[in-house]
Amino acid sequence: MRLGLRERVLTLPIMVALVLSMIWRQIDKVTELVRLLRTEGLLWADPKQVSQQALSERFRTFPSVRSQGR
């Protein structure tokens, strides 16, 4: 399976940093989150050039439930 650029740049650790930053800093807009990620990075995530569309798409495919197989 080939990964698209969005999946390679916005990995699980980066997405966790984004979600935690949204909660901690009370960021309610994806545009603000993208701006912060581009300019200063978030938590352990270094600054990255991402588009608002790429981040929105990645949030749509972000798993919302744990797998049932334990």
Q: Are 36 and 62 in contact (CB under 8 A)?
A: no
**What pLDDT score does 16 carry?**
87
pLDDT, tens digit (0-9, with 9 covering 90-100), for 17-55 = 988 998 998 988 888 988 989 998 888 888 988 888 888
What are the C-alpha distances in Å from 38 to residues 52, 56, 63? 11, 15, 24
Q: How far is CA 1 from the centre of its chain?
A: 21
Cα–Cα dist 39/53, whole Å: 17
Q: Are 17 and 37 in contact (CB under 8 A)?
A: no
